[in-house]
């Protein structure tokens, strides 16, 4: 198992993921545009001044950045990872980006003699901190086998889905389900509240039945307690649904409920909510109903 790793992108998800690698004895070089946090260097990581510098020190280079252009810049931009790649290294992109672009990036990386995995995650900040993320991987079996011990330091449910790009397709599918479930939970709790019933008691009762879900448990509670600090920001889920809708359009597939969820996220953003947790989608439904969950019914 490679013990020299690099980590690029230390945001809400990336920082605890990197910290879990360090905690498990991995020699880690790190970079993020805003500067490597002191808590990570104090734990044992080495701060680098560019993605290229990270690649010079690492056998496996993890990326966890917001969007497709960010991955492209980190890999192939000025002082990018590609400038320092050598044969035998592995680039692992754990961001959620375009499946089509992922295949293009992988081809360019392989031209330099390195290997590539796409490995987007699900589980949010809670899962990142607890090292319980679901990790959906695309790439060759042999490359996956080399990196799996490192994945196991960050996640629990780790699956090789198929060739490069398959992980990103799986993540897009995940985000479609998550968005639609948040919307359904929001509708249900809003209906209960508008009818004069305690939405939190309804949520608790439903947790024991067929409607139970992790989203009803966690995000339903966010809705009733009005705790919309991220978590997972609406603007990031919007990005993922854009990927889903663009991929669907290219394949001639209709995703009507996904389009509705995106419209509701757009409404939240119009009301200043792009940085709300994605459970805040319910606020768009509340505006339509002129009623807030938990509001006294006159």
Query: Which tops the pLDDT comparison, 297 or 228?
Result: 228
Q: What angle do CA 136, 61, 16 make, to 5 degrees?
A: 65
Span 43-51, average pLDDT? 97
Q: Which residues contact 170 (CB under 8 A, 6 or more apart)?
A: 120, 136, 138, 159, 161
Closest CA to 49 of 6, 4, 100, 93: 6
Which DSSP state fits 67? S
57 is catalytic: no
**pLDDT band with cut points at 50, 70 and 90 for residue 3:** confident
Mean per-residue pLDDT over the chain, rounded: 96
CA dist 66 and 75 (Å) reads: 14
- For residue 277, what are the β-bridge partners? 233
CATH of domain 169-289: 1.10.1040.10
Q: What is the pLDDT of residues 90-139, one digit of tens each?
A: 999 999 999 999 999 999 999 999 999 999 999 888 899 999 999 999 99
CA dist 224 and 104 (Å) reads: 43
Span 165-179, average pLDDT? 96
**pLDDT band with cut points at 50, 70 and 90 for residue 231:** confident
Q: What is the pLDDT of residues 23-32, one digit of tens each?
A: 999 999 999 9
Would the pLDDT of 1 be above 60? no
pLDDT for res 109: 98
**pLDDT band with cut points at 50, 70 and 90 for residue 297:** low
Would the pLDDT of 2 be above 90? no
pLDDT for res 25: 96
Catalytic residue among 108, 146, 156, 171: 171
Q: What is the pLDDT of residues 247-262, one digit of tens each?
A: 999 899 999 999 999 9
Residue showing tokens 């990031």: 236
Quick one: CA dihedral 157, 38, 239, 115, positive or negative?
Answer: negative
Residue showing tokens 């497709």: 68
Would the pLDDT of 57 be above 70? yes
Burial zone of 125 (CB within 10 Å; 0-12 exposed, 13-18 middle, 19+ buried): middle
- For residue 194, what are the β-bridge partners? none
pLDDT for res 140: 98
**pLDDT band with cut points at 50, 70 and 90 for residue 235:** very high
Per-domain residue ranges for the chain?
5-162, 169-289
How many percent of the chain have pLDDT more than 70? 98
> CATH topology of 5-162 equal to that of 169-289?
no
Of the CATH numbers 3.40.640.10, 3.40.47.40, 3.40.50.720, 3.40.30.10, which one belongs to the domain with range 5-162? 3.40.50.720
Query: How are beta strands 90-93 and 115-118 bridged, if at all?
Result: parallel
Span 215-223, average pLDDT? 97
CA dist 248 and 250 (Å) reads: 5
Residue showing tokens 């897009």: 172
Task: DSSP for 17-54, please give it.
Answer: HHHHHHHTT-EEEEE-TT---HHHHHHT-EE-SSHHHH
pTM of the model: 0.89
């Amino acid at each position: 198992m490679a013990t020299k790793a690099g980590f690029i992108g230390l945001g809400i998800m990336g920082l605890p993921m990197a910290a879990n690698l360090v905690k498990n004895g991995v020699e880690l070089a790190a970079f993020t545009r805003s500067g490597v946090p002191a808590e990570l260097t104090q734990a044992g990581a080495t701060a680098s001044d560019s993605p290229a510098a990270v690649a010079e020190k690492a056998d496996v280079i993890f990326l966890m950045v917001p969007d497709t252009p960010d991955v492209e810049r980190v890999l192939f931009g000025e002082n990018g990872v590609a400038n320092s790649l050598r044969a035998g290294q592995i680039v692992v992109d754990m961001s959620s980006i375009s499946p089509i672009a992922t295949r293009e990036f992988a081809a360019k990386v392989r031209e330099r003699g390195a290997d590539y995995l796409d490995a987007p995650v699900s589980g949010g900040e809670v899962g990142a901190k607890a090292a319980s993320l679901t990790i959906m991987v695309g790439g060759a079996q042999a490359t996956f086998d080399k990196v799996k011990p490192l994945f196991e330091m960050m996640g629990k449910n780790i699956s090789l889905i198929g060739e490069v790009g398959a992980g990103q397709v799986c993540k897009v599918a995940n985000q479609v389900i998550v968005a639609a479930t948040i919307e359904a939970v929001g509708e249900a709790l809003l209906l209960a509240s508008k009818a004069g019933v305690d939405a939190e008691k309804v949520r608790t009762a439903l947790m024991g039945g067929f409607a139970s879900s992790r989203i009803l448990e966690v995000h339903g509670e966010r809705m009733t307690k009005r705790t919309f600090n991220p978590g997972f920001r609406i603007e990031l889920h919007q990005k993922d649904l854009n990927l889903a809708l663009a991929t669907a359009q290219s394949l001639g597939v209709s995703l009507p409920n996904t389009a509705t969820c995106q419209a509701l996220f757009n409404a939240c953003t119009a009301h200043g909510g792009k940085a709300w947790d994605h459970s805040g989608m319910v606020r768009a439904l509340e505006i339509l109903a002129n009623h807030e969950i938990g509001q006294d019914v006159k």
